[in-house]
Amino acid sequence: MAIVVPGVTLSSCGLTMPVIGMGTSSSPPVAPETTKAAIIEAIKAGYRHFDTAFAYRTEQPLGEAIAEALHLGLIKSRDELFITSKLWSSFAEKDLILPAIKMSLRNLQLDYIDLYLIHWPLKLSQEVRQMPVIREHIFPLDIKSVWEGMEECKNLGLTKAIGVSNFSCKKLEELLSTAKIPPAVNQVEMNPLWQQKKLREFCKARDIHVSAFSPLGANNTKWGDNRILECDVLEQIAKAKGKTTAQISIRWLYEQGVSTIAKSFNKERMKQNLDIFDWSLTEEESNKISQLPQRKGITFESILGPHDLVLELDAETLNEY
């Protein structure tokens, strides 16, 4: 029996987004067929929100999986799904944004995306083919003009909502000072060991919904680790409740009013990650989690290299904590 995932209404546009989405980024990358098969299994399990990006190279297999799910009758209409994709940093220039979203729509075989996000708060040269990058290939993001391009995507009906990813309070403030359409979502790293309290308060006061990636610490990726899944406090709570540490982390995020992008291509864990709605954490358990020592897992430096602009972005996030 598929689990029905509740939705959250995005204040700035009235759109309803399922509170748990399935991530499609794999590091190292997997074959497109593997991604497609996992997405079809996820639809069977009850997932209706899928998170992709041009940079993940999973838009195409996601599009194929949606077409197959429709053909198999797993869903009656594309409108049953909520699809998030992201503007890659090499296209973070006003004139390149419309061509970029149209390319994503072609990859996905869709007429519209539900949510289109600016992937990173910086611009990269189109020559970038691998990470880390050389300093000459990194530029500051012209937030005003890039956001105008994002607004155009929404005004043309190519996406129902627009937002950002990996933005600090400082970057959001800059965006809000000129935006005609406010960002609906800020997708950031968040989990019990990186709780983002200040950013959450900032976003809540401005009706920006926070969505969490790496809810499980991005275990089994080159930039993540197993510190969530092997955290003693979370393990003890999980054991006492007969749950997994992953379920405790996702439930904790849900109780903070945050949506979650959880990635597992394992059929059993996929189902477990959705099974968090008919139980709750006690006040004592929540207090224990709120006191966990905090450390950011993923930095721009670890991906792009130790360049001044990159270190500046990391410092912004860390200084706000």
* Active site annotation includes 112: no
Residue 101 contacts by C-beta under 8 Å, 6 or more apart in sequence?
A: 85, 87, 113, 116, 153, 158, 159
The full 3-state SS of the chain, as one line of letters, equals CCCCCCEEEECCCCEEEECEEEECCCCCCCCHHHHHHHHHHHHHHCCCEEECCHHHCCHHHHHHHHHHHHHHCCCCCHHHCEEEEEECHHHCCHHHHHHHHHHHHHHHCCCCEEEEEECCCEEECCCCCCCCCCHHHEEECCHHHHHHHHHHHHHCCCEEEEEEECCCHHHHHHHHCCCCCCCCEEEEECECCECCHHHHHHHHHCCCEEEEECCCCCCCCCCCCCCCCCCHHHHHHHHHHCCCHHHHHHHHHHHCCCEEEECCCCHHHHHHHHCCCCCCCCHHHHHHHHCCCCCCCCCHHHHHCCCHHHHHHHHHHHHCC
Binding-site residue positions = 119
**How far from 286 is each of 48, 233, 281, 313, 316, CA to CA, in Å?**
28, 11, 6, 30, 28
Binding-site residue positions for substrate = 119
- Options 56, 112, 116, 254, the catalytic residue: 56
Residues designated as active site: 56
